[in-house]
């Protein structure tokens, strides 16, 4: 794959399709990657991460870290750090959050709701994945690779 290329969106017809898509993506993952995962509530972001974790060989059950902010999955071939920034917005929240010190990290860092992050992202390592609802069952999943 060439850097900074927007790939044709994948159309997922089910949660299993979404997980398979992420499992395929996991084959190209390496430590230090940052994945910014975009999509509305209910679009399937956590479902996609479940597939990513499974593709990496994680034995843990993947759930949304909306209230804990971060879930770590270290049983996979590459550690997976799953952030959810949905409920963060006050200056105090950002002052206590140590996310900037972890970018890029020792594993794969996946961030849901990255648009809420007030600092600069390390553009050379960030992949953007956008999941859009098409209807009750179908989703469009688009991947944009990092610039080099």
pLDDT in tens, the chain (148 residues): 334 445 689 999 999 999 999 999 999 899 988 899 999 888 999 999 999 999 999 887 777 766 667 778 888 889 998 888 887 765 556 556 666 666 777 899 898 988 887 777 776 678 999 999 999 899 999 998 876 5
Integer Cα distance of 1 and 17 in angstroms: 22
Of the candidates 23, 24, 22, 54, the one whose C-alpha atom is nearest the C-alpha of residue 39 is 22
């Amino acid at each position: 794959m060439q850097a900074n290329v927007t790939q044709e969106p994948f159309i997922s017809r089910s949660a299993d399709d979404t997980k398979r898509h992420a499992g395929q993506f996991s084959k190209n993952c390496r430590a230090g990657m940052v994945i910014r995962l975009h999509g509305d509530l209910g679009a399937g972001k956590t479902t996609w991460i479940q597939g990513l974790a499974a593709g990496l060989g994680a034995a843990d059950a993947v759930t949304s870290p909306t209230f804990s902010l971060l879930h770590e999955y270290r049983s996979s071939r590459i550690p997976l750090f799953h952030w959810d920034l949905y409920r963060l917005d006050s200056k105090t929240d950002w002052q206590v959050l140590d996310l900037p010190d972890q970018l890029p990290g020792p594993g794969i860092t996946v961030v849901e709701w990255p648009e809420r992050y007030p600092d600069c992202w390390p553009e050379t390592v960030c992949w953007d994945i956008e999941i859009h609802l098409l209807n009750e069952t179908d989703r469009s999943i688009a991947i944009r690779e990092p610039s080099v």
